[in-house]
Amino acid sequence: MLSLSTLLKEPRIRGGVHAEEHKASTSSQPIVVDFPLPKKLYIPLQQHVGKAAEPVVRVGDHVLKGQLLAHSQGMISAPVHASSSGVIIDIDDYPAPHPSALPIRTVVLETDGEDKWISAPPVDDPFQLAPEEVSLRVGAAGIVGLGGAAFPSAVKLNLGRENRIHTLLINGGECEPYLTCDDRLMQERAAGIIDGIRLMLHGMETGQAIVGIEDNKPEAYAAMRKAGLPYPFIKVEQVPTRYPMGWDRQLIRYLIGREVPAGGRSADVGVIMHNVGTAYAVHRAVRFNQPLVSRIVTVSGGAVASPMNIEVPIGTLISELFAFCGVDQTAAKRIIMGGPMMGDALPHSRLPIVKASSGILALTQEEIRNKAQQPCIRCAQCVSACPAGLLPLEMANRIRNNQLDAAVDIGLKDCISCGSCSYVCPSNIPLVQYFKYASGELAARQQAQHKSEHTRRLMDERNARMDRIKKQQQEEEQARLAAKAERERLQSEQGTLA
């Protein structure tokens, strides 16, 4: 919660909390790049916002690393590539890395141990490519937002070019507790990130970029500043350490000084935001023709004997990461993909790493806040902590009374489910759970309404079609009767003349 002095000092910051960081165990260790190649990779065809990719391979096919496995379906979709070389042994439903663990279509790849790349020559000078070609290459590489949203990056590049965006904002905040994959990436591969930023600017035809890094990452800030010095149009700025500073609207408000309107998009104020991991993936894709087939994952938590950041192939099972890091499965009372504030609790570890898997946490009972809920004391700490400027308690009261429309009227759709309100609540009221339930219920109602409207539209079209058929039949019958009458008349006239 913000104090008055902090609010006066930083008027561009709204809400947020100082959550316990738990980052020290992994932020100072280099990224592990020699993770043993799994014998099998389980590569889901739905790793992005939009329609699932459609497979172009069959069981029995031998593929190379980086080879296309499934092509995108429509504009809001992304292709999927082989994370290593080997043989396709199955294409079937497999549990998804989601709290429901519902099955989704998955390509199972048995690796051959060679990890051999498909032949794809690098580009001599990618800045000679047309801006549209940069976007096409990013799209073909299957790059999505690696901060967790998994929105296809090529779509945002095209959006930036079409909307005359004036600033590309790069999110290096990594405000979630435990997670340090972006921190280590900036420390070790800053030059590649800066190159990716330059390529995205070229693809968007945008003049400047700002990189926002929380001030609890001094080594990452220094590395990015050094790498960006030759390019005055790329500014590297420190931002206060406060969750959820990585939220696009919070960063825009602090670094650009503009407020994204409710219900609007960052493009409405001339800004497009990407993650630092996405920028690095663009660097590898456009300059070296390497699609997104691996990512850096933070493995941490009280049940992890050796917390670390590991670069792993997409499709690696979480259980293999746990074995590599020495996770005590009996002590791990909760497995979370992502951070503890906005991540998803998983039912078990036999689930694959996907493009959006920034971290895997194995938390002990001591790390899980399961305190008894108490009556609200009307302290308004949830109001002060909300980065969207909402009234969490009032929304929760309306949701509890099944007044979802009333909750929408006071801002439910602007809630990002960051959990700040629940974190600061002294009565341990699970406010964010109310909002997630309401959002899901509204989505279900909207889907049912769309289905009802679609059914009604189909019925209207059928009725119209039947009316047309009936009218056509009547016209044909009338024409037939008229023709018959005409024939009879002619026959009568011929009989009279005879």
Q: For residue 89, give Cα distances in angstroms to 49, 58, 86.
A: 26, 9, 9
Q: For residue 377, give Cα distances in angstroms to 28, 374, 407, 412.
A: 41, 9, 21, 22
pLDDT for residue 1 is more than 50: no
Q: Which domain holds residue 182?
A: 14-35+119-296
In the structure, what pLDDT confidence band is assigned to residue 153 with cuts at 50, 70 and 90?
very high
Q: Give me the pLDDT at residue 10, please.
A: 57
Number of domains forming the structure of the chain: 1
Residue 209 domain flag: yes
**Residue 239, token pair as written in the block:** 């931002």
CATH number at residue 124: 3.40.50.11540
Segment 294-319 shows an average pLDDT of 97
Return the HEC string of the chain.
CCCHHHHHHCCCCCCCECCCCCCHHHHCCCCECCCCCCCEEEEECCCCCCCCCEECCCCCCEECECCEEEECCCCCCCCEECCCCEEEEEEEEEECCCCCCCEEEEEEEEECCCCCECCCCCCCCHHHCCHHHHHHHHHHCCCECCCCCCCEHHHHHHHHHHCCCCEEEEEECCCCCCCCHHHHHHHHCHHHHHHHHHHHHHHHCCCEEEEEEECCCHHHHHHHHHHHCCCCCEEEEEECCCECCCCHHHHHHHHCCCCCCCCCCHHHHCEEEEEHHHHHHHHHHHHHCCCCCEEEEEEECCCECCCEEEEEECCCEHHHHHHHHCECCCCCCEEEECCCCCCEEECCCCCECCCCCCEEEEECHHHCCCCCCCCCCCCCHHHHHCCCCCCHHHHHHHHHCCCHHHHHHCCHHHCCCCCHHHHHCCCCCCHHHHHHHHHHHHHHHHHHHHHHHHHHHHHHHHHHHHHHHHHHHHHHHHHHHHHHHHHHHHHHHHHHHC
Q: Backbone phi, then psi, for 335, in 5-degree steps?
A: -110, 125
d(CA 107, CA 82) in angstroms, rounded, equals 9
The burial class, CB within 10 Å (0-12 / 13-18 / 19+), for 394 is middle
pLDDT for residue 264 is more than 90: no
pLDDT for residue 262 is more than 50: yes
Residue 266 domain flag: yes
pTM of the model: 0.86
Residue 126 domain flag: yes
Output the average pLDDT for the chain: 91
In the structure, what pLDDT confidence band is assigned to residue 11 with cuts at 50, 70 and 90?
low
Residue 454 domain flag: no
Residue 188 domain flag: yes
Residue 75 domain flag: no
pLDDT for residue 468 is more than 60: yes
Minimum mean pLDDT range among 303-312, 387-396, 483-492: 483-492
Tell me the percentage of the chain whose pLDDT exceeds 70: 97
Most confidently predicted of 159-163, 394-398, 438-442: 394-398
Q: What is the pLDDT of residues 272-294, one digit of tens each?
A: 999 999 999 999 999 999 999 99
Count of residues for the chain? 498
Residue 28 domain flag: yes
pLDDT for residue 498 is more than 80: no
Residue 366 domain flag: no
Q: What is the pLDDT of residues 374-397, one digit of tens each?
A: 999 999 999 999 998 899 999 999
β-bridge pairing 359-363 and 294-300: parallel
Q: Give me the pLDDT at residue 81, please.
A: 97
**Residue 300, token pair as written in the block:** 């941490």
